[in-house]
Amino acid sequence: MSEPRYDVIAIGNAIVDVVSSCSDELIEELGMLKGGMTLVDTDQAQELYDAMGPAREISGGSAANTLAGLSALGMQCAFVGQVADDQLGNVFAHDIRAVGIDFDTAPRAGNPPTARCLIFVTPDGQRTMNTFLGASQFLPANALDEEAIGGAQILYLEGYLWDPEEPRAAMRRAIETAKNAGRKVAFTLSDAFVIDRHGDDFRALIDDGLIDILFANKVELAAITGEEDFDAGIAQLTPKVPTLVVTRSEEGAVAVNRGERAEVAAEPIEEVVDTTGAGDLFAAGFLAGYVRQKPLDTCLRMGSIAAAEIISHYGARAEEDLAALMAEKLG
């Protein structure tokens, strides 16, 4: 097998976070659920965007956030995701390339526009999110660079993108390409509501031996296995998944790799400011250790350190130097 061109290539939603401060009165006036996340259509997205004050635009999306963390930790990464040929599409492409990630998916002409998450932040720090999935739902299989996928040590997929038909077909093709090249496939279950909709598909992927590394939190573990007992859920999946990684918020995280089990406590932190992106960065830390063939408990610790950095501030992209932080914490 040839040396991998990339450590990790990921397929995910190409979303731009548009963040603006606002008053509680504006939340009420616009009829939003304070602190919640709502999916919105094109017209609603435009109406909310027009109502926003001055905003910061930051590239987001679950898998893209993970790659940003991996890149900060010295990994060679590439991203596959669909943007439109518009202003926010240009923002996304610029931002992801600026952190050293290859991004070559051609923009899509016409409507719908690039996906965006309109985030209204009230004076108490609460984030009210309105997500418009737009062009990200129309990633075709012919957008895949199969040579790049076959040349990546790990293919990383986000469950969020399994919902629309086109990206689902693209991800199935990518899995086949990676497997034929002898590469590993990592999958994050993303959210219990995704499992409610596509759990049968995910279980089939697991049963067919197509997932090498599975990321879940404890709620998702219960949803995918039907087991409320945490250890029973772990026991159900470990014979089918070579590497299982499950996070438990303040209770830390557990990983089982071919029968070897490791656990770590949550990394201590002064204040939890915003949990957005915690799972994404946990995956980044873990995979960075995995690619470098670190011991299982070290991989978990790296995930925990990266997640703790993210929840200490607003936004899903690291503000500290993650590589320096790892060196400091791990010694």
Query: What pLDDT is attached to residue 35?
Result: 81
- How far is residue 224's CA from residue 216's CA, in Å, rounded to a whole number? 9
pLDDT digits (tens, 9 = 90+) for 162-217: 988 999 999 999 999 999 999 999 999 988 888 999 999 999 999 999 999 999 99
Percentage with pLDDT > 90 across the chain: 76
- How far is residue 73's CA from residue 241's CA, in Å, rounded to a whole number? 26
Query: What pLDDT is attached to residue 37?
Result: 77
φ/ψ of 121, rounded to 5, equals -110, 115
Helix/strand/coil for 286: helix
pLDDT of 47 over the 90 cut? yes
Burial per residue of 259-276, b for 16 or more beta-carbon CB atoms within 10 angstroms, e otherwise: eeebebebbeeeeeebeb
CB contact at 8 A, 49 and 20: no
- How far is residue 53's CA from residue 184's CA, in Å, rounded to a whole number? 44
Please state, rounded to an integer, the average pLDDT across all residues of the chain: 92
Taken in order of first residue, the domains within the chain and their CATH numbers are 6-14+61-112+137-330 (3.40.1190.20)
Most confident region among 127-141, 231-245, 309-323 by mean pLDDT: 231-245
Query: What pLDDT is attached to residue 202?
Result: 97
Percentage with pLDDT > 70 across the chain: 99
CB contact at 8 A, 118 and 49: yes
pLDDT of 1 over the 70 cut? no
Burial per residue of 104-131, b for 16 or more beta-carbon CB atoms within 10 angstroms, e otherwise: ebebbeeebbbbbbbbbbbeeeebbbbb
- Please report which confidence band the pLDDT of residue 57 belongs to, taking 50, 70 and 90 as the band edges: confident
Q: 57 to each of 156, 165, 240, how far by Cα in Å?
A: 25, 28, 41
**Torsion 314-316-319-323 (CA) sign:** positive
Helix/strand/coil for 64: helix
- How far is residue 284's CA from residue 194's CA, in Å, rounded to a whole number? 21
Length of the chain: 331
- Please report which confidence band the pLDDT of residue 274 belongs to, taking 50, 70 and 90 as the band edges: low
